[in-house]
Chains A and B, each alone.
Chain A
């Protein structure tokens, strides 16, 4: 079985500040990891994914994430956030042909 823990339900941050959204996972097999973003009343949009290779993954909108196998983490970072980054962020894990398992989400609140 696999699971995902997003440690923070809400992260408030000021515009142009850096941000890190934390994600830890557990799985007994090799995993593939994803970050999705959801704006109000919208579907989920893929930000980035880790499949294999380099542990530092760059995604859309200036986001990046680092896969850390020893710490079973896949934290999402952005060096300078904008008001438009305000949204819900979901971390998800897949182990091969299984379905996706989502974390509970982290609401990023960017204020001026």
Chain B
């Protein structure tokens, strides 16, 4: 089945220690998204890639970076995680049809100690 895969499902890091979250998709969609979701809140878009074009949301902290080496893979790098960065991180993939349906992965739960 075509899907969006995120690894790992649970990640523990230390305050200030860089961490990378991974996402891959077998849908062959052009667009990939990273969201941050804190407890009992809606997902908050951090950035998205339209093919190789990177689109950063205005309020995404500089501490968050992303890489998309090819269509299938996308990475979220947190350069110096703070306690406030503990959250669920959701990756999604979407096509370029006009209605923008997105398919989500299972998420990575990040804990910062």
Contact of B45 among A46, A51, A99, A103 (CB under 8 A): A99
Q: How many residues of B contact A (CB 8 A)?
A: 24
How many Cβ-Cβ contacts under 8 Å join chain A to chain B? 56
- Residue on A nearest B33 in the bound complex, by CB: A99
Contact of B42 among A46, A96, A104 (CB under 8 A): A104
Complex Cα–Cα for A83 and B29 (A): 35
Complex Cα–Cα for A41 and B8 (A): 13
| A44 contacts partner chain B, Cβ-Cβ < 8 Å | yes
Complex contacts, B99 vs chain A, CB 8 Å = 32, 49, 51, 94, 96
Binding stretch for chain A, among B60-68, B79-87, B102-110: B102-110
Contact of A32 among B6, B90, B100 (CB under 8 A): B100
Complex Cα–Cα for A100 and B102 (A): 8
Complex contacts, B105 vs chain A, CB 8 Å = 43
9 contacts between A and B (CB under 8 A): A41-B88, A43-B104, A49-B99, A90-B42, A96-B98, A96-B100, A99-B33, A99-B45, A100-B45
Interface contacts beyond A43-B105, A45-B104: sample of 9 additional A-B pairs, CB < 8 Å, sorted by A: A32-B101, A41-B88, A44-B92, A46-B103, A94-B100, A99-B48, A103-B42, A104-B42, A105-B40
